[in-house]
Amino acid sequence: MSDYSNLIIGFGKAGKTLAKTLATRGESTMVVEKEASRYGGTCINVACIPTKILEHKARERRSDDDAAAWYANAVTEKNAKTAALRAANYKMLIDAGVAVENAAASFVDEHTVRLAYIDGHSRNVTADRIYINTGSYSFVPELPGIKDNRYIYTSTSLMDRTELPKSLVIVGGGYIGLEFASYYRNFGSEVTLLHKGSDFIPREDKDITAAVLESFEKRGIKIVFNSDVLGFDGPNVNYSVNGEKQTIKADAILIAIGRRANTRGLELQNAGVNLNSRGEIAVDENLRTSQKNIFAMGDVKGGLQFTYISLDDFRILTQNGRTTANRGAIPYTIFLDPPVSRVGLSESEARNAGFDVKVKLLPANKIPKTLILEQREGVLKAIVDNATGQILGAHLFCANSEEVINLIKLAMDMKVPYTHLRDSIFNHPTVTEGLNDLFAM
């Protein structure tokens, strides 16, 4: 007989939600999290919540506010709020009857996990079903001068720095790098972003990326394209552009070249759990791994690294018929100033797929609410199937786009034709009412 019906490794969104549900059903359940500082998972502690707190506080700062003091207070506020969320999440599981252990977990076999505690002792725990929800981590490459360099930060460690860097160099032009460039520029840092490629935000359509690039340039964010980082010498970043070596000095250097599935130390081979070619845990559409009683949820299984995907993984494990194949349209947002949001196909993807499309672009400043919000930059874009009237995709670079995109996602999932958004009565003044004009094709 096993010690528990369910053992969940990792206190992330899917893990904690599943743990509470299973325990409420009367199933014995344990959650293992290596550190109490990670209760609640990546989103609460190092990603969605703390970054958006800083993003909000950065946009609130006026030009006559003391930048250093404002930033220090923002970090203090961020720490207080995330600590409160950690405590609330821990209490939620304890109140539901979940056993919570702080230990490093590794597999002994398909039903047994070894828990290694910080004081040096360890023990084995058995379970009928095991769920892996260990998330992802910031990848830091092995480059000369990077090890033990006090100027080097990840997205996690930079947010714990209470001193605002006067100059910040960001290595990496992906979504995380772009967001931090926006936050810290608003706080008052001089920001330089070293982007390895020549395409800016390559997943998005060129008319959207051109508008974002223009916005960054107006704000004084410097982007160096085709840059290849060679190494570091303390605060100096050595890089080359088209073979020409250059150096830039910074108070802080953020490495933001991506995140990797956190399978470190799990000893998955002992349980017969396979990885895919990218080093992520391979799962089927029901999140089952190569071992029938072991499942993987959230970032560790690969795919889109969003907390709402992790939450939907919980639904897949608890709702009959729900799979990774029928999630519907998945929206996402790059939290810039203003934010960039997207759902569905880009124009190029739609045309390449053979759709006869009609496209509409709407300048954000045509929407009255952007005047009120003093965020007039941006452009909205809609892609519609000319044959059926179905919405194929939308790209919103505008104020409040992170909210408005959800309405378009719902319309797409419900197969509502674009004319419904064109003719709907929306509250005024809102950014949402801009959809009337966006879909007036």
Q: Any idea which residues carry the catalytic annotation?
A: 428
Task: Give the DSSP letter string of 49-71.
Answer: HHHHHHHHHHHH--TTS-HHHHH
Contact in structure between 255 and 157 (CB atoms under 8 Å): no
82 and 50 Cβ atoms separated by less than 8 Å? yes
Asked whether 50 and 78 are in contact (CB, 8 A), the reply is yes
Q: What angle do CA 352, 195, 210 make, to 5 degrees?
A: 50
User: Is-contact 313 320, C-beta < 8 A?
Assistant: no
Is the distance from CB of 114 to CB of 108 less than 8 angstroms? yes
Q: Is-contact 42 135, C-beta < 8 A?
A: yes
Q: How far apart (Å, rounded) are the C-alpha atoms in residues 51 and 181? A: 12
Amino acid at 302: G
CA distance 254 to 77: 22
| Residue 27 · residue 129 · CB < 8 Å | no
Token pair 């080097």 in the structure block, residue: 152
